[in-house]
């Protein structure tokens, strides 16, 4: 069981309410569905804590995209090991959010209240997640961030919170914006074109928008302090150890020549170093193009509507250089030398990872009013395709590349690696289809005031597939594994929410009770079956501008599809061999972080259909006081608990258990 206690924040919002409750004040006649509730309301002043950023807020605060704004929120407390600013990863072209530190897959992301296809390539080679790069900034009306559990409203994944992106429906006028940016120290030049327009004709509306962005990479060599040679921290580029002499073979000046592309090549005692990591990306090269549209047509007591969003991205990432290490033996199978060798791109040719990705989503339906309730029927379909290629050494070929120990000091050309190198391929895709029916209206009276209810029915079908090249499937690349899998899932859900005005008293203020109940039934090969979640919330308003809330909710997460259906997966990681260290030192305190006993190991895992759902609960106490439209004070206390969390066991834990069992 993992339990996380989260105390969040005294927050005050200045400067025209850049972060505030989601919607501006609206009249009773302009009720709408707000994030965190199914009930149609006149405003978003419900018991659940919600932050909101409009498109104007993004521009005013200097955020160039939605992702930059979200990672700046106080709720974004979890580390991100892959993504836009972390080029060395399986999903380094994506933008992931990790609210509360529970992992990207435990924050539910919606677009106009609908689930879309997730990034099919799993985060950290484990679980699927939503890629915020697929939503162009020009298409955003606002984004609502619900910062507590909401499975009773939205179902699975809403453990750490819900992020609901509301798309723009109409431009006030034709818009066209050109943005140019550059860095003072070199690299990172960016260009961006955005625009759109809306067209009205009688009772019909059509909105079209577009966004194109191109940015150049930033390499370590663009920052002087990262490109300089620092022997104490820069790894070796070439090293050769002679066991017969029990010493390193010291390279001469000519031995350091294999790095012709580097302006500085230095012989540092036992090895050559050239600052080869100067070639690494600090930020990836990327070019993206997006289109979006919205259309509506009034029909009687309602309207037809449709949203379309298309996104395409080409990304290049350059990180750790290709390398090889191994042993040389003589004709008696006696080890004579150990060698370690890194290769520059000037020797091998391009070492860039290439990410070619695209996605599209279509959300359409009919929204109308009956005599006693409002209703909406929605069909949402989305697709995500991702193609990743990566230059690598064939394991058997690179192990036979050097015939003599001194060959590691030679200078090579790309032609020398024609039969030694290839490109691994990961071709992945995911789909999601959702059909939903929602209705909201007034129910029985409490204290001479009508209660309000909402009902939702959902059907969802989702699938994913990751295909890899034959060499990856057979684990034939040097120091590189493979991750593939495929699976599908159907889900039925039924939810009910009811708001009751418990107290309406001039002296005591207003007290509302909200109850929500949801049932989700999963049709896949897991052991989830069905899950039921509920929520209860009290909101007291002694005066109009002061609100005190108490919320308790349960949450769950169905096992990630890749955890269920992954094929045998191999990856490599550096760990400390605790057993070996303790055999020498017999002191765990000295072994726990001892770098002398670090080893690289290959780890294998595969999916399991025996998994059950994760279960959680959230308790929230909130206080909100509105000084003015431009200044609000809020205090929220969270207690979030998650049980049966699914994840890969840390490799270091196995090595610790080994050491403990042997003592």
Could you identify the residue written with the tokens 């009772």? 203
HSE on the CB side for 576, CA within 13 Å?
Answer: 15
Do the beta carbons of residue 83 and residue 95 sit within 8 Å? yes
Instruction: List the single range of 9-13, 74-78, 143-147, 148-152 with lowest mean pLDDT.
Output: 9-13
What are the structure tokens assigned to 29, written together? 């006649």
pLDDT of residue 31: 64
Q: Residue 626, CB half-sphere, CA atoms under 13 Å: how many?
A: 17
3-state secondary structure string across 154-188: HCCCCCCEEEEEEECCCCCCCEEEEEEECCCCCCC
**Best CA proximity match to 272, nearest among 239, 241, 234:** 239
Q: CA 355 to CA 492: how far, in whole Å?
A: 34
Residue-wise pLDDT for 527-575, tens only, equals 888 999 999 999 999 998 899 999 999 999 998 899 999 999 888 888 8
Segment among 354-368, 419-433, 526-540 with least mean pLDDT: 526-540
Give the tens place of pLDDT for each residue, 5-36. 333 333 322 223 333 333 434 444 556 677 88
Residue pair 645/560 in contact (Cβ under 8 Å)? The answer is: no
Rounded-to-integer distance, Cα 118 and Cα 122, Å:
9
Helix or strand run (H / E) with residue 583: helix 578-585
Is 558 within 8 Å of 156 (Cβ atoms)?
yes
Burial class (CB in 10 A: 0-12, 13-18, 19+), 444: exposed
Is 501 within 8 Å of 517 (Cβ atoms)? no
User: Residue 260's pLDDT band (boundaries 50, 70, 90)?
Assistant: very low
Binned at pLDDT 50, 70 and 90, residue 373 comes out as very high
pLDDT at 278: 63
DSSP H or E run through 470: helix 470-473
Q: How far apart are CA 278 and CA 369, in angstroms?
A: 62
Instruction: Give me the phi and psi of 151, to 5 degrees please.
Output: -65, -30
Q: How far apart are CA 422 and CA 102, in angstroms?
A: 37
Q: Give the separation between CA 560 and CA 607, rounded to whole angstroms.
A: 10
Give kind and range of the element (H or E) at residue 11. Answer: strand 2-13
From 160-169, 296-305, 482-491, 564-573, the region with the lowest mean pLDDT? 564-573
Q: Residues 325-353: pLDDT tens digits?
A: 999 999 888 999 999 888 888 789 999 99
Residue of 226, 227, 231, 320 whose CA lies nearest to 267:
231
pLDDT in tens, 507-537: 888 999 999 999 999 988 888 889 999 999 9
- Yes or no: say if 454 and 39 are a contact pair by the CB < 8 Å rule: yes
Q: Above 90 in pLDDT, residue 321?
A: no
Q: Specify the pTM.
A: 0.86
Binned at pLDDT 50, 70 and 90, residue 396 comes out as very high
* Polymer length in residues for the chain: 663
Distance separating alpha carbons of residues 371 and 605, to the nearest angstrom: 56
CA distance 53 to 13: 12
Q: Assign 280 a pLDDT band (cuts: 50, 70, 90).
A: confident
- Dihedral sign for Cα 586, 587, 592, 598, please: negative
Find where tokens 């002191």 sit. Answer: 587
Average pLDDT over residues 258-286: 59
Which has the minimum average pLDDT: 139-153, 360-374, 413-427, 428-442? 139-153
Structure token pair of residue 128: 């699927």
Q: Are strands 161-167 and 107-111 parallel, antiparallel or unpaired?
A: parallel
Q: What are the angstrom distances between the C-alpha of 650 and each of 86, 100, 217, 536?
A: 21, 20, 33, 37
């Amino acid at each position: 069981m993992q339990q996380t206690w989260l105390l969040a924040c005294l927050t005050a919002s200045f400067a025209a309410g850049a972060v505030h409750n989601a919607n501006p004040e609206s009249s009773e006649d302009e009720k709408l569905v707000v994030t965190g509730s199914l009930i149609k309301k006149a405003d978003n002043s419900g018991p659940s804590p919600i932050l909101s950023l409009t498109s104007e807020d993004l521009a005013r605060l200097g955020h160039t995209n939605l992702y930059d704004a979200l990672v700046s929120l106080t709720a974004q407390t979890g580390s991100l090991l892959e993504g836009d600013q972390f080029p060395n990863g399986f999903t380094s072209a994506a933008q992931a959010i990790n609210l509360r530190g529970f992992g990207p897959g435990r924050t539910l992301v919606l677009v106009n209240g609908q689930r879309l296809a997730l990034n099919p390539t799993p985060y950290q080679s484990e679980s699927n997640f939503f890629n915020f790069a697929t939503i162009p900034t020009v298409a955003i009306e606002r984004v609502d961030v619900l910062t507590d559990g909401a499975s009773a409203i939205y179902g699975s994944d809403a453990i750490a919170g819900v992020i609901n992106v509301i798309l723009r429906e109409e431009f006030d006028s034709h818009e066209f914006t050109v943005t140019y940016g550059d860095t003072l120290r070199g690299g990172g030049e960016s260009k961006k074109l955005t625009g759109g327009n809306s067209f009205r004709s009688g009772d019909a509306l059509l909105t079209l928008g577009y966004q194109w962005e191109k940015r150049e990479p930033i390499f370590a060599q663009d920052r002087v302090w990262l490109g300089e040679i620092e022997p104490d921290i820069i790894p070796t580029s070439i090293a050769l150890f002679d066991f017969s002499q029990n010493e390193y073979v010291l390279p001469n000046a000519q031995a350091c020549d294999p790095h012709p592309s580097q302006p500085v090549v230095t012989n540092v005692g036992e090895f050559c170093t050239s600052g080869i990591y100067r070639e690494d990306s600090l930020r990836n090269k990327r070019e993206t193009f997006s289109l979006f549209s919205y259309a509506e047509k009034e029909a009687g007591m309602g309207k037809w509507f449709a949203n379309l969003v298309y996104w395409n991205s080409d990304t290049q990432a350059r990180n750790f250089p290709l390398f090889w290490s191994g042993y040389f033996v003589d004709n008696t199978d006696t080890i004579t030398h150990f060698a370690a060798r890194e290769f520059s791109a000037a020797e091998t040719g391009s070492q860039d990872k290439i990410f070619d990705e695209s996605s599209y989503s279509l959300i359409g339906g009919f929204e109308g009013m009956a005599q006693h309730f409002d209703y909406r029927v929605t069909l949402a379909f989305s697709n995500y395709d991702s193609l990743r290629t990566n230059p690598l050494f064939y394991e058997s070929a690179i192990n036979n590349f050097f015939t003599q120990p001194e060959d590691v000091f030679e200078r090579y050309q790309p032609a020398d690696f024609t039969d030694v190198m290839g490109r691994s391929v990961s071709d992945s895709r995911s789909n999601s289809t959702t059909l939903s029916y929602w209705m909201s209206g007034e129910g029985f009276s409490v204290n001479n005031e009508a209660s309000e209810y909402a009902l939702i029915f959902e059907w969802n079908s989702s699938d994913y597939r990751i295909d890899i090249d034959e060499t990856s499937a057979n684990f034939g690349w040097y120091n590189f594994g493979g991750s593939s899998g495929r699976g599908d899932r159907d889900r039925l859900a039924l939810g009910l929410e009811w708001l009751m005005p418990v107290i309406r008293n001039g002296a005591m203020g207003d007290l509302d009770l909200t109850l929500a109940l949801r049932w989700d039934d999963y049709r896949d090969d897991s052991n989830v079956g069905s899950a039921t979640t509920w929520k209860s919330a009290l909101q007291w308003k002694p005066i109009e501008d002061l609100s005190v809330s108490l919320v308790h909710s349960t949450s769950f997460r169905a096992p990630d599809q890749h955890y269920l259906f992954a094929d045998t997966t191999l990856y490599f990681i550096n760990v400390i061999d605790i057993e070996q260290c303790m055999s020498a030192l017999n002191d765990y305190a000295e072994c726990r972080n001892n770098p002398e006993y670090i080893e690289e190991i290959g780890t294998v895992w595969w999916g399991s259909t025996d998994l059950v759902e994760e279960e959680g609960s959230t308790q929230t106490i909130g206080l909100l006081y509105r000084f003015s439209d431009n200044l609000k004070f809020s205090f929220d206390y969270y207690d979030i608990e998650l049980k049966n969390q699914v994840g890969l066991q840390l490799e270091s834990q196995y090595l610790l258990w080994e050491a403990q069992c042997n003592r």
